[in-house]
Structure formats: C-alpha cells, structure tokens
Structure 1
C-alpha cells in the first residue's frame, strides 16, 4: 500500500511471516559454505543437456564443488537484533525456475502465484546472530538434518527452528545432488568466490548412463547415486562444522552470501573449557522422506574410506521413503572399535581426506560406538501404504527390536513435516497442531523422554476403515480416529 508522509509518497510492503517459533531460546540462522577441493564427480550418471553442466565437466550430473548447510541455533539477541530471514532461496528467479521444473508447470504460470511469497515471506529468526552461551547444559547438542525431494535448507525451518529453540544446533543440508529446488555452487579460487552454474531439480528424464548393466543392481539408479552424493555432503558438512567450532585456522568457510557473522561465538569455550557445541559424541541425525532414506543409508553402511564415522547416538526419521534402498535392508552397521589417535594423521592439510579426518582426533576413541537409537514418525498416508509400511516395520525392528518406535500421526500427509502446510494464506487449521506434535515427539525422543511425552497425547490402536473408492477402482482407506491422534507400533 501507499503511505504519504510530509508530501512524500513511499511504498510499504507486507511482511509475511511463518508461525512464531515456540521454545526457550530465540533462534539464529546462518548459512555456511565450504569448498570441495579438488572437486570430484560422484557416480556415473550423465546429463543429457550440456547447458546444465559445467563447461569443464560437460557430462557429469553429480559434481561435488561446494557444500552448503544452514545452521539453526540458540541465539544471543537484544532489542536491536534484526528479525526475519527470506524463506525462498535467493536469487528468486532460480527458485521459481526450480519449482517449475519440480512441479512440471510453466514458470510463467507460477510467477504471479509465487512471487508474493518469494519476495516477502520470512522465517521468524535472527540472521547471523551470535551463538548463545549455554548455561544449564554446558554444551549445545548437534543435530544434522537431511531434506526430501523438492526440499531445501529452509523448507523445514519450522521443524529445525523448533529443535533450535529447545537448545540444539541443527545443521540443515542444502543437498546439491539434483533433489533440491535450486542452488548455485560457487567457485573458490585463492580465497575468493564466484558464481557457478544454476542447479535445478534433476529428473530421471534429464540423465543417462553409458553402461546400463553397471546400474542394474540399484532399485532406483539415479536415487542410488544421489544417496552416495549425500553421504559425501553430510560427512564434509560435519567435518567443516567441527573444524569451525575447534577454531581451525586452515578451514575455508564463509556465509553463502558473504555477509559477516560472529565467528568467535562459534569457536569460544564456555564453562570447564568446553566448546559451546558438543560435536565429539552423541550427534543426532534426522531427515524427511528421501532425507529419512539418506539417514538410514548412512547408518547402515561403512563410511566412505576418506571419512571417519560420525558418532551418532540417536536418529529421528520422518516419513522415510524406502524404495531407493536395496532389499533386504537396511540394517545397522556395526562399527569396529575406532582407531587410536596415533593412526589418524596430521590435520591442517588442504586435501579433502585430511580435512574430513581431522576433527576425529579430539574425539573419545577408546570405546566401541554403540548402535544408534531410532524413532520413526510416519504420516497417515505412508502408514496406509501397505507394502511400504510392512517393510518399514522390519527395518525399524533391526534397530528397536522391542517395538514402540514407529509413531503414526492421524490426519497427517507426507508434506505435513515441512513448512508448506503452514505457509501464510494457504495455511490449514490442523497443519500447525500436527507439525507441533511432530516436533514435540522428535524433541522428546532426542532428549530421552519419549515415554513421558506419550502420556500427554491421545493415542489409539491401529484401525482402518473404507471410506470410498479411488480412481483406479481400489478401496480408499483411512485410519480411525481424530486428527493428531498417535498410533504406536
């Protein structure tokens, strides 16, 4: 609308915010990037359209050039702190092109619908704010989050911010394997960065292989190679973050847009000489859909040879998509006793191998890494997917043989775990309570108080009713109960 002041007409814009973040602490958000040097190609998948490729790698579809992740964390703020972070990834043009590719609708049709969100929609958090000094817990626990197909590092901001507001540091990966909407890896040359090509969502029709026999063992060949790419990204992001907290002067890291951030707040030590973030042990993993698949894949395989293991204690899997994983499996990988610090080698090298191994030198390596605990939170839609749910039960039983670690939330859909159902204007009445339940159950499990939390929510036994007929003639089913009820299996 127009606002007139002293005969000067100015234009004021609406401020669209996602729902207020509930929790004990204000939430800061900083997006970090770190280079992969030398860059490398992952897998054998190739691009059909060379215009989407790097000029020096004209065919390779999966290139590790730069790893990016957004940190959501308890922040130190005051009355002068700026509040509000763009939800749409910048530049806006890239994101709109990415949504067009993902949804399969012309960008010219999407532009008038999405632009108001793209320009004005904000996450209610503090950009590049200092990391708060922990008091009661001495150290903030570390959580790593992996997004699903068509997701991004901001698409789950409500969930990640909810964890951060409770006192956790959450690293939300921006997967650059063609599963995100859009991104622009930068070229790092002698300390400076420049834009590379735009990466949009990658469809199966966009790629090919020279040797079909070489990929016949994968249930979904493209997704299988994207999983391998994601393994690299998670290990590199974890390593870079550990080195940031450890104040490693050899680390190359920057914010994604080059804006300054209070680096010392991340590297500072608190009481008892402890770093503010606990990264040496008891790390937690979480992910949605293909991100949940990523977590399962990561925990069921030996780390790639250039990386040390991530000391994961717990994992929350949100509506996991299992089809990209080989059958049978996945099953927990039993790590052997870790090597001694003498066998790790020197840190400070610019090589990828040294950079990813270095953080482990300060870890407690004298005991065998225990099997991570696991919780799965399922949507009603995925629980009603009969064959998929039966497989999920078998998978979770390998981690939690006593049962009770698959929770289904009635009335939820696959998209309920993301921000999309709670966006302004299109927000549904039941979307926020469902997302709050997802967040609270996840937190209670990560904090080892799941049994206590379950006592405070309505639960039901599994009961299915037929409510109609689908277009393909099959019966349409639903779970009996009220929206927000939880089924425990």
Structure 2
C-alpha cells in the first residue's frame, strides 16, 4: 500500500462519498450520443441528469472508535476507470493496464473513510461552532478524488469540502443510476469521457452549434445543475429536512447523527446558509466563473457565495468579454435553454466594476503554462479586474504546470520535491486567502517579477518562453 503525502493541517480528515437522486430526471441540452448504450430505454441524450455524487472531505472525529486510515484514490470499479483513462488519453487500455493496476489498487488517500464529522464545539478555530462549506469543481479528465490533496488541505484547516463528481462526460468515468419513487436504484450505467466523435446535434440545433466549444457550453449548463443540486441536497441533509435522500455511494454505513444539528442550539454543524466558497480547477474554474456571472434557473436560489478560489481557469468556453459579476436584480435564465444561457452571459458586457464590490472575493492561482498563454492571460487579467479592481488577486507559480493543482504530480513513486513544494504553496496560499491572511502569507513567499524569457523555438517556429525565477517562486498581479 502506498499513501499520497501526509495531509498538513490542524485536523485529521474524513472522506465520505454521497449520492442523491435528482427529483426530476431529464436531459440537459440537445447534444446526442452517436451510439446509445446497449439496452438503454431512456432518451439518447448525451447529458442526462438523474443522480448527483460528491465526495466530502471534512474534519474527522477519530476518537469515537478505531478507524483505519486509507481511502481508495482510484475511482471504483478499476476496470471501468481503466476504460475511462484509455478514452481520455487516447491510449490502448493494454498499455495503461500496468499503471492503472498499480495506482488503482495500491494508492490510498491518507484520510479516514466514513469517519464521523468532528463536533465543531471541540475545535476552537471553528467560526461560531460551525464548519464553513466549500464546493469544488474538477477539470477535464478529473474526478472527485483527483484533487484529494487540495480538498484535504482545506478540510484539515477546518472546512467541509464537497468535491462534485461531474457526470457530464468531462470526467474519466462515472457510474450514474436511476432511482424510482421508492428509492430503488437501477444498475449503474458506465459513462466515459465524451469525445467529439461520440456525439452529434440534430439539424435544428444551429444556435448552439455556432457557439465556441458547443459541447463545453452544454456541459457547463449540466454542471450548473449538479452544483446547485449538490448544495440544495446537502443543505437539506444538514438541516435534517424530512424526505432528503442521501446515502453513501457504496451503501456503507456512516454516522448520520454526527452531520446533524447541535442538540443544544439546533444550529447545524456545517454553515450552509452563508459565506460558502466555490473552488475549481481548469474547466472547473470556468464552471465557477460561469455560475457566479449568471442567474440560476427558476428552480434554484442564488448560492450564498462569499469567496471563490479559481485554479488555472480555462476561459475559452465562456462568452467574451467577461464574465463579470452579475448586476443586482438580473432576470433569471432557464439553464436548460442553452441559447438563452449564452445570450445571458453576453448581456453582462455593460457591467461596470465597483470599487467596493458586493460580489464574492476572488483569488486566481495560475500555472506558468497558462500565464505564458498570452491572449488567454490578458483576458484573465481583464476578468479579474471586474472582481478585484484593486489587483493582487492573480498568483502565478514559477515552474508550475496545468496538472500541478491535482494529485497526479505528487503520486507515490513519481513525485519529486519540486512538485510537492509547488503544491504546498498552492494549498498554503489558498488556505490563507480563506482565512483572510492572504497578504500575510505572501510575506513568507519569494516574490519575483513577471519576466518571460526566450529559451528556444517551438515546432511551429514560435519562441519558447519561460518565466524567470526558481520553481515555486511567486508572481503577484
């Protein structure tokens, strides 16, 4: 057995994966599968919303009974995960099998499976005896465990983090099920990473097909529903709302009472009512920006977001210019109508950033790779000005890559000191931002100027550039 690096922080971390049925299962968008699943009786829509899943990382009570540390890092079943990685990477499953077998069966997250939630009264750092809530969105090829180190670091600092498993074809694999009114579940269907060759649109879908990255636009709409449903379901669960259907993904027992209300004050142990945080990497960062800059559909209330952490966001699927903070009193948009969803985002162009924003505070942490993407970075700077007009909210780490925010560079056997140091800086800066000591944290970092230098020539003849400085040095914009 091999463990990912030990989790730094004040509290031991518990990990529990929950699932809940969608009360009104339905297709999202108009994209269709070229080859429907064998034996499927539902519509041939590529994006079908029927069940949400999310992994909770949280401060754990490890004193109540002996609990063995070690949570499977690889999504089960391993065979289906192998298919998912093969599809995502475009490699033969036979070539990937030895790697998948090793990491899939032997690597563990150093956390406690299904441990009870620690009573916040027993932790002096918990605000008003409640744990703050964070919702995390993964990137393309990611999963609910692919960012376990980042989510665990936030949890170890005294937060409950819900890592959504996006079942929109952007993850390597997911296994959604249908639920009937009696709570009975169908056998899971295997949903692998969706490629352009797997999908098509009907002829009457010209409005969406003309949008940039049309599949990603529809997946964004799907992700909106997943984030809102995850929040609403967890909110009801924490408030002991009758009729809330929530269970572990594999049917194992968990201490439901530890997640409930304080018997003395009847205050929930997790603060879902205000000051929640949205976080995400890559397409997940794109998802966070999209949610924060557009109205929810009529079936959802706006999320009470106080802060956002956006890791190496991929901006291209979003309408430009923007996205910018929502105007107050905006009209709601039906997210299932993708054309309205896109036009709503375009209507935000006339927003004038306020000097004292009433919208969520934002921190963006960029990789060197994305910062050197000149046009993309210039757009990111304009976007962040709309949220943080006083600046100093884009941090770039010298030597970092797009994968540096995930677990992949720090897996056992293959990880190196540089990758671990870069990840630790990402986590430390993120926690400091949430704890309102961001500027203080920067004093302990080595700050360097933005100085790209040419180090060679790419295959296309364009100059190959690198940021001046040592790996892990910090650039603040």
Q: Give the alignment's TM-score, normalised by structure 1.
A: 0.89
Separation in structure 1 between the aligned mates of residue 116 and residue 230 of structure 2, nearest angstrom = 20
C-alpha distance 270-420 of structure 1, shift in aligned 2 (>3 A)? farther
Q: Aligned residue for 1:203?
A: 195
1:53 is displaced (CA, Å) by 8.4
1:89 is displaced (CA, Å) by 0.4
Query: Aligned to 1:327, what secondary structure does the other structure show?
Result: coil
Query: Aligned to 2:186, what secondary structure does the other structure show?
Result: strand
Matches within 5 A, 1:166-185: 166-185=157-176
User: Is 1:68 aligned to 2:53, yes or no?
Assistant: yes
Q: Deviations over 1:57-109 (max 9, x none)?
A: 2x200000100000000000037112100000000011000000000011111
User: Is 1:462 aligned to 2:450, yes or no?
Assistant: yes
1:448 is displaced (CA, Å) by 1.0
Q: Aligned residue for 1:409?
A: 397
4+ runs deviating over 3 angstroms: 270-273, 335-338
Q: Aligned residue for 1:142?
A: 133
Which of 59, 75, 89 matches 1:89?
75
Q: Aligned residue for 1:289?
A: 282
Q: Deviations over 1:161-220 (max 9, x none)?
A: 000000000000000000001011122231222323100000111111113522145211
Separation in structure 2 between the aligned mates of residue 296 and residue 285 of structure 1, nearest angstrom = 9
Query: Aligned to 2:461, what secondary structure does the other structure show?
Result: coil
Q: Deviations over 1:390-409 (max 9, x none)?
A: 00000000000111100000
Matches within 5 A, 1:103-252: 103-135=89-121, 136=124, 137=126, 138-189=129-180, 190-211=182-203, 212-252=205-245
Separation in structure 2 between the aligned mates of residue 409 and residue 98 of structure 1, nearest angstrom = 30
Separation in structure 2 between the aligned mates of residue 303 and residue 261 of structure 1, nearest angstrom = 32
1:51 is displaced (CA, Å) by 2.6
Separation in structure 2 between the aligned mates of residue 467 and residue 428 of structure 1, nearest angstrom = 24
Query: Size of the alignment, in residue pairs?
Result: 445
Structure 1: which 5+ runs fail to align?
A: 1-14, 339-368
User: Is 1:476 aligned to 2:461, yes or no?
Assistant: no
Q: Aligned residue for 1:487?
A: 475
Matches within 5 A, 1:324-473: 324-336=317-329, 370-473=358-461
Query: Aligned to 1:459, what secondary structure does the other structure show?
Result: coil
Matches within 5 A, 1:47-62: 47-51=33-37, 54-57=40-43, 59-62=44-47
1:248 is displaced (CA, Å) by 1.3
Separation in structure 2 between the aligned mates of residue 393 and residue 38 of structure 1, nearest angstrom = 39
1:113 is displaced (CA, Å) by 2.2
1:304 is displaced (CA, Å) by 1.2
1:370 is displaced (CA, Å) by 3.1
Mean Cα deviation higher: 446-455 or 190-199: 190-199
Q: Deviations over 1:141-165 (max 9, x none)?
A: 0000000000000000000000000
Which of 248, 253, 259 matches 2:246?
253
Separation in structure 2 between the aligned mates of residue 271 and residue 414 of structure 1, nearest angstrom = 47
Structure 2: which 5+ runs fail to align?
A: 332-356
C-alpha distance 481-21 of structure 1, shift in aligned 2 (>3 A)? same
Query: Aligned to 2:417, what secondary structure does the other structure show?
Result: coil
Q: Deviations over 1:459-488 (max 9, x none)?
A: 011101111111111111000001111101
1:55 is displaced (CA, Å) by 2.4
8 Å contact kept, 1:28–1:72: yes
Q: Deviations over 1:257-313 (max 9, x none)?
A: 000111111113176442111110001000000000000000000111110011000
Query: Aligned to 1:425, what secondary structure does the other structure show?
Result: coil
| Aligned-pair Cα RMSD in Å | 1.7
8 Å contact kept, 1:334–1:371: no
Separation in structure 1 between the aligned mates of residue 401 and residue 282 of structure 2, nearest angstrom = 12
8 Å contact kept, 2:295–2:330: no
Q: Aligned residue for 1:355?
A: none
C-alpha distance 130-320 of structure 1, shift in aligned 2 (>3 A)? same
Separation in structure 1 between the aligned mates of residue 382 and residue 106 of structure 2, nearest angstrom = 45
Separation in structure 1 between the aligned mates of residue 389 and residue 19 of structure 2, nearest angstrom = 39
Which of 62, 74, 79 matches 1:77?
62
C-alpha distance 120-440 of structure 1, shift in aligned 2 (>3 A)? same
